[in-house]
Amino acid sequence: MADKNSLYKRRIIKQLYFSDTLSCSDLSAQTKTSLPLTTKMINELIDEKYIVETGYAPSTGGRRPLMYSLRPDMMYVVAVAMDQLFTRVVIMDMQKKHVSPVEKFELHLARNPEALTVLAGKIGEVIGGSGIAKEKFAGIGIGMPGFVNAKKGVNYSFLDGGENGIAQYIMDKVGVQVFIENDSSLIALAERTFGAARNKKSAMVVNLGWGIGLGLILNGELFRGYNGFAGEFSHIPLFSNNKLCSCGKMGCLETEASLLVVVEKAEEGIRNGRLTMLKDLSSENFDQASRAVINAAEKGDKFAVELLTEAGYHIGRGVAILIHLLNPETIILSGRGSSAGKIWRTPIQQALNEHCIPRLAAGTEIEISALGYNAELIGAAALVMDNYEKEFNKKGHKGEAKHPFLQDR
């Protein structure tokens, strides 16, 4: 019974994390647990100082239910967001608030055998510098580009973790449970749980960044494909341009529409004398250069708007294929590049007008993410809590997991 009680408590904690506040009856329904047992578990969690009463729900005509939420400091997660060039690390509490500054550092993943060692070291530094005991961490969630097999903890594109994989390597170094996932899938998870895809049955979340990633939400669930590799939107072969893509093939969407290409075209235009407020761009600092292009476009710079419009049109051609195949309710533009906001919408819609069957495209909305560049960090934290109950089911009943919740009080 002790193990079952711990499992019920984990279910309650997970639901409160994703919903912020819930009543006892809400928790009973969402955890599929009887109301008396749910009440008992809530009272125990209050006594153990894991959850708190937050007042009564607004009146709907009947008796107002008492609401509950997690104590912010009951537990913490480490969220790690990676792309090919930069990595960000932050500690969050149970109210999704940052309790440490976002540590951002340059970390090139391609052809860098030391990248995993550096990553593990930085994560260890952030945890050590926080002053928070390791037993207080529910886990480390890491989003990264590449072909990621989350179940095996392996990335087949970057970060060689040897026989045991990346997740196990970092866990051995840091001493906290680790979960990894493809960056675009985590952005989709963030949008599904806290963003524009919440309560949507089908949504395509386009990650606008150094590549053009894609997270798929089908039937309300994150769809990863057979091996976890679904969503390689960047590598749809749309062009006969003889441009070599990072995947080794030619003519991929990425070769004409990624932020890297936008920066390269901006540099070329400046060299050729285009009139623009953009100055001194350097492809050696893509982060700063991409932000400069987006900022210039937001200020109405004609050349910068042209660059994003051209990229947006090409993305729209790819989106037209997605609509024909999957008929999604919503297309959400998220990730680093989504800060350009409505500048993307017009060229993407123009491409849909030209390349989509009208009846198919008519029901699909294009939305700009409110989470933006923070989506991957939010998704990384959500990944940990999404696995919170699953980890107990896998090993808690064997007494192997170390988190205090696995020991019934």
**pLDDT score recorded for residue 250:** 93
Residue 69 structure tokens: 């939420």
Tell me if residue 140 falls in helix, strand or coil: strand
Residues 262, 216, 199: CA angle, nearest 5 degrees: 115
Report if pTM > 0.85: yes
**pLDDT score recorded for residue 401:** 43
Interatomic CA distance for residues 303 and 296, integer angstroms: 9
> For residue 295, what are the CA distances in angstroms to 78, 163, 225, 312, 339?
30, 44, 36, 16, 9
Please list the pLDDT of the chain residue by residue as tens digits (409 residues): 457 888 889 999 999 999 999 999 999 999 999 999 999 999 999 999 999 999 988 866 678 899 999 999 999 999 999 998 899 999 999 999 999 999 999 999 988 999 999 999 999 999 999 999 999 999 999 999 999 998 888 999 999 888 889 999 999 999 999 999 999 999 999 999 999 999 899 999 999 988 899 999 999 999 988 888 888 899 999 999 999 988 889 999 999 999 999 999 999 999 999 999 998 887 678 888 999 999 999 999 999 999 999 999 999 999 999 999 999 999 999 998 999 988 999 999 999 999 999 999 888 999 999 999 999 999 999 999 999 877 665 554 444 444 444 444 3
* Packing angle, helices 375-386 and 388-395, rounded to 10: 30
Q: Which residue spans within 107-211 are E strands per DSSP? A: 137-144, 148-149, 154-155, 178-182, 203-208
**pLDDT score recorded for residue 395:** 54
Selection from 236, 248, 207 nearest residue 344 by Cα:
207
**pLDDT score recorded for residue 122:** 97
The answer to whether 316 and 352 have CB atoms below 8 angstroms apart is: yes
The answer to whether 81 and 144 have CB atoms below 8 angstroms apart is: no
- Quick one: DSSP state of residue 63? P
The answer to whether 370 and 197 have CB atoms below 8 angstroms apart is: no
> For residue 183, what are the CA distances in angstroms to 114, 163, 202, 294?
20, 23, 19, 22
Residue 249 structure tokens: 């093939």
**Numbers of helices and strands, H then E, in the chain:** 14, 15
Interatomic CA distance for residues 316 and 250, integer angstroms: 19
Domains, the chain, in order of start with CATH, read 2-70 (1.10.10.10), 74-186+376-402 (3.30.420.40), 196-370 (3.30.420.40)
> For residue 185, what are the CA distances in angstroms to 169, 189, 196, 222?
22, 6, 15, 7
Interatomic CA distance for residues 81 and 173, integer angstroms: 19
**pLDDT score recorded for residue 2:** 52
Q: How many CB atoms lie within 10 A of CB 117?
A: 13
Interatomic CA distance for residues 251 and 318, integer angstroms: 13
